[in-house]
Homo-oligomer: A and B are copies of this chain.
Amino acid sequence: METKLTSETIYEGKIFRVSKDQVILDDQMVVQRDIVHHHGGVGVLAISDNKLLFVKQYRYAIAQTTLEIPAGKLEKGENPYDSALRELEEESGYTCKQLHRLFEIYSTPGFCSEKLYIYYTNELIKVEQPRAMDCDERIELVWYTLDEALSKIQTAEIVDAKTIIAIQFAKLHETELCQKEPKQ
Protein backbone atom coordinates (compact mmCIF):
# COMPACT_ATOMS: atom_id res chain seq x y z
CA MET A 1 0.00 0.00 0.00
CA GLU A 2 0.95 3.62 -0.47
CA THR A 3 -1.01 6.18 1.47
CA LYS A 4 -1.48 9.74 0.29
CA LEU A 5 -0.07 12.43 2.56
CA THR A 6 -0.47 15.45 0.32
CA SER A 7 -1.56 16.09 -3.27
CA GLU A 8 -0.93 19.20 -5.31
CA THR A 9 -2.50 19.76 -8.72
CA ILE A 10 0.22 20.93 -11.11
CA TYR A 11 -1.84 21.15 -14.26
CA GLU A 12 -5.50 20.81 -15.14
CA GLY A 13 -6.04 20.33 -18.86
CA LYS A 14 -8.87 19.17 -21.13
CA ILE A 15 -7.63 15.59 -21.41
CA PHE A 16 -5.81 15.00 -18.13
CA ARG A 17 -4.83 16.51 -14.79
CA VAL A 18 -1.36 16.20 -13.27
CA SER A 19 -0.73 15.99 -9.55
CA LYS A 20 2.40 15.77 -7.46
CA ASP A 21 1.67 13.63 -4.38
CA GLN A 22 3.62 12.79 -1.26
CA VAL A 23 2.88 9.21 -0.22
CA ILE A 24 4.01 7.02 2.63
CA LEU A 25 4.97 3.38 1.97
CA ASP A 26 4.17 0.51 4.36
CA ASP A 27 7.67 0.74 5.81
CA GLN A 28 7.18 4.46 6.51
CA MET A 29 9.39 5.70 3.70
CA VAL A 30 7.98 8.90 2.19
CA VAL A 31 8.27 9.30 -1.59
CA GLN A 32 6.91 11.55 -4.32
CA ARG A 33 4.54 10.25 -6.99
CA ASP A 34 3.77 12.32 -10.10
CA ILE A 35 0.42 11.17 -11.44
CA VAL A 36 -1.46 11.77 -14.69
CA HIS A 37 -5.19 11.62 -13.89
CA HIS A 38 -7.38 10.65 -16.83
CA HIS A 39 -11.13 9.93 -17.01
CA GLY A 40 -10.56 6.74 -18.94
CA GLY A 41 -11.49 5.66 -22.41
CA VAL A 42 -13.18 3.08 -24.58
CA GLY A 43 -12.35 1.06 -27.67
CA VAL A 44 -14.39 -1.19 -29.95
CA LEU A 45 -13.23 -4.28 -31.81
CA ALA A 46 -15.69 -4.25 -34.71
CA ILE A 47 -15.74 -7.14 -37.18
CA SER A 48 -17.81 -7.27 -40.33
CA ASP A 49 -17.51 -9.73 -43.24
CA ASN A 50 -14.44 -11.16 -41.49
CA LYS A 51 -12.68 -7.80 -41.57
CA LEU A 52 -11.66 -5.68 -38.61
CA LEU A 53 -12.38 -1.98 -38.54
CA PHE A 54 -9.53 0.46 -37.92
CA VAL A 55 -9.21 4.19 -37.68
CA LYS A 56 -6.18 5.77 -39.31
CA GLN A 57 -5.16 9.08 -37.77
CA TYR A 58 -2.15 11.21 -37.03
CA ARG A 59 -1.09 11.10 -33.38
CA TYR A 60 0.81 14.22 -32.48
CA ALA A 61 2.07 12.77 -29.16
CA ILE A 62 4.12 10.13 -31.00
CA ALA A 63 4.56 12.06 -34.27
CA GLN A 64 3.20 9.30 -36.47
CA THR A 65 0.05 8.02 -38.11
CA THR A 66 -1.51 5.08 -36.28
CA LEU A 67 -4.01 2.34 -37.00
CA GLU A 68 -6.26 1.91 -33.98
CA ILE A 69 -9.60 0.37 -33.20
CA PRO A 70 -12.33 3.03 -32.95
CA ALA A 71 -11.79 4.61 -29.55
CA GLY A 72 -12.10 7.72 -27.50
CA LYS A 73 -12.20 9.16 -24.06
CA LEU A 74 -15.00 8.95 -21.54
CA GLU A 75 -16.86 12.19 -21.01
CA LYS A 76 -17.34 13.19 -17.38
CA GLY A 77 -20.16 11.10 -15.90
CA GLU A 78 -20.64 9.04 -19.07
CA ASN A 79 -20.83 5.29 -18.66
CA PRO A 80 -18.34 3.24 -20.67
CA TYR A 81 -20.95 1.34 -22.67
CA ASP A 82 -22.67 4.51 -23.92
CA SER A 83 -19.29 6.07 -24.57
CA ALA A 84 -18.20 3.11 -26.70
CA LEU A 85 -21.39 3.28 -28.79
CA ARG A 86 -20.94 7.03 -29.20
CA GLU A 87 -17.28 6.80 -30.23
CA LEU A 88 -18.02 3.96 -32.65
CA GLU A 89 -20.73 6.04 -34.32
CA GLU A 90 -18.76 9.29 -34.35
CA GLU A 91 -15.60 7.75 -35.74
CA SER A 92 -17.00 5.11 -38.09
CA GLY A 93 -20.61 6.00 -38.85
CA TYR A 94 -21.71 2.59 -37.55
CA THR A 95 -23.68 1.55 -34.53
CA CYS A 96 -24.86 -1.85 -33.27
CA LYS A 97 -27.61 -3.37 -31.16
CA GLN A 98 -25.26 -4.75 -28.55
CA LEU A 99 -21.63 -4.44 -27.53
CA HIS A 100 -19.91 -7.21 -25.59
CA ARG A 101 -17.34 -6.17 -23.02
CA LEU A 102 -13.98 -7.87 -23.54
CA PHE A 103 -11.48 -6.13 -21.27
CA GLU A 104 -10.95 -3.49 -18.65
CA ILE A 105 -7.30 -2.49 -18.82
CA TYR A 106 -4.94 0.15 -17.59
CA SER A 107 -2.77 1.60 -20.33
CA THR A 108 0.22 2.54 -18.17
CA PRO A 109 -0.46 2.07 -14.44
CA GLY A 110 2.99 3.16 -13.30
CA PHE A 111 2.08 6.83 -13.51
CA CYS A 112 -1.34 7.21 -15.15
CA SER A 113 -4.87 6.37 -14.01
CA GLU A 114 -6.28 5.85 -17.51
CA LYS A 115 -8.60 2.84 -17.60
CA LEU A 116 -9.77 1.52 -20.97
CA TYR A 117 -12.91 -0.50 -21.60
CA ILE A 118 -12.69 -2.65 -24.72
CA TYR A 119 -15.87 -3.92 -26.39
CA TYR A 120 -16.67 -6.18 -29.31
CA THR A 121 -19.38 -6.29 -31.95
CA ASN A 122 -19.85 -8.20 -35.18
CA GLU A 123 -23.23 -6.67 -35.96
CA LEU A 124 -22.52 -3.24 -37.35
CA ILE A 125 -25.42 -1.14 -38.60
CA LYS A 126 -24.80 1.89 -40.83
CA VAL A 127 -26.09 5.14 -39.34
CA GLU A 128 -27.65 7.50 -41.87
CA GLN A 129 -26.73 10.70 -40.07
CA PRO A 130 -24.06 9.79 -37.53
CA ARG A 131 -23.14 12.04 -34.62
CA ALA A 132 -20.24 14.31 -35.48
CA MET A 133 -16.78 13.58 -34.14
CA ASP A 134 -14.64 16.05 -32.21
CA CYS A 135 -13.79 19.07 -34.31
CA ASP A 136 -10.03 18.39 -34.08
CA GLU A 137 -10.22 14.76 -35.26
CA ARG A 138 -9.12 13.88 -38.81
CA ILE A 139 -9.58 10.18 -39.47
CA GLU A 140 -9.92 7.62 -42.20
CA LEU A 141 -11.53 4.18 -41.90
CA VAL A 142 -9.72 1.06 -43.06
CA TRP A 143 -10.64 -2.63 -42.94
CA TYR A 144 -8.18 -5.50 -42.61
CA THR A 145 -8.57 -9.23 -42.28
CA LEU A 146 -7.36 -10.72 -39.02
CA ASP A 147 -4.22 -12.06 -40.66
CA GLU A 148 -3.47 -8.71 -42.26
CA ALA A 149 -3.90 -7.04 -38.87
CA LEU A 150 -1.60 -9.56 -37.17
CA SER A 151 1.01 -9.01 -39.82
CA LYS A 152 0.78 -5.25 -39.28
CA ILE A 153 1.68 -5.81 -35.62
CA GLN A 154 4.81 -7.66 -36.71
CA THR A 155 5.81 -4.90 -39.10
CA ALA A 156 5.08 -2.23 -36.46
CA GLU A 157 2.41 -0.60 -38.63
CA ILE A 158 0.10 -1.29 -35.68
CA VAL A 159 1.73 -0.11 -32.45
CA ASP A 160 -1.16 0.96 -30.22
CA ALA A 161 -1.46 -1.21 -27.09
CA LYS A 162 -5.28 -1.49 -26.90
CA THR A 163 -5.43 -2.29 -30.62
CA ILE A 164 -2.84 -5.06 -30.29
CA ILE A 165 -4.80 -6.51 -27.37
CA ALA A 166 -8.00 -6.50 -29.44
CA ILE A 167 -6.35 -8.14 -32.46
CA GLN A 168 -4.67 -10.83 -30.35
CA PHE A 169 -8.01 -11.51 -28.67
CA ALA A 170 -9.68 -11.86 -32.07
CA LYS A 171 -7.02 -14.38 -33.11
CA LEU A 172 -7.39 -16.36 -29.89
CA HIS A 173 -11.16 -16.50 -30.47
CA GLU A 174 -11.10 -16.65 -34.25
CA THR A 175 -13.59 -19.48 -34.62
CA GLU A 176 -16.22 -17.69 -32.53
CA LEU A 177 -15.61 -14.16 -33.80
CA CYS A 178 -14.85 -14.41 -37.50
CA GLN A 179 -17.09 -17.12 -38.93
CA LYS A 180 -20.55 -15.69 -38.38
CA GLU A 181 -22.59 -13.79 -40.90
CA PRO A 182 -22.04 -10.26 -39.71
CA LYS A 183 -23.39 -7.41 -41.83
CA GLN A 184 -27.03 -6.36 -41.47
What copy number does this chain have within its complex? 2
CB distance from A14 to the nearest CB of B (A): 7
Given A138-B25, A165-B161: A112 in contact with B13 (beta carbons within 8 A): no
CB distance from A108 to the nearest CB of B (A): 4
- Contact (Cβ within 8 A) B34 A153: no
- Contact (Cβ within 8 A) A60 B36: no
The answer for the CA separation of A108 and B66 in the assembled complex, in Å, is 11
Find chain B residues with CB under 8 A from A135 CB.
29
The answer for the CA separation of A125 and B20 in the assembled complex, in Å, is 38
Find chain B residues with CB under 8 A from A13 CB.
20, 34
CB distance from A110 to the nearest CB of B (A): 7
The answer for the CA separation of A105 and B36 in the assembled complex, in Å, is 19
Q: Which of B1, B34, B59, B105 contacts A109 (CB 8 A)?
A: B59
Interface size band for A:
35 or more
- Which residue in chain B gives the minimum CB-CB distance to A164? B165
CB distance from A7 to the nearest CB of B (A): 11
Q: Quick one: which of A26-52 are within 8 Å of B by CB?
A: 26-27, 29, 31-36, 38, 41
Residue numbers of A with Cβ under 8 A of B are 1-2, 10-11, 13-16, 18, 20-21, 23, 25-27, 29, 31-36, 38, 41, 58-62, 66, 68, 71, 73, 103-116, 135-136, 138, 153, 156, 159-162, 164-165, 168-169, 171-172
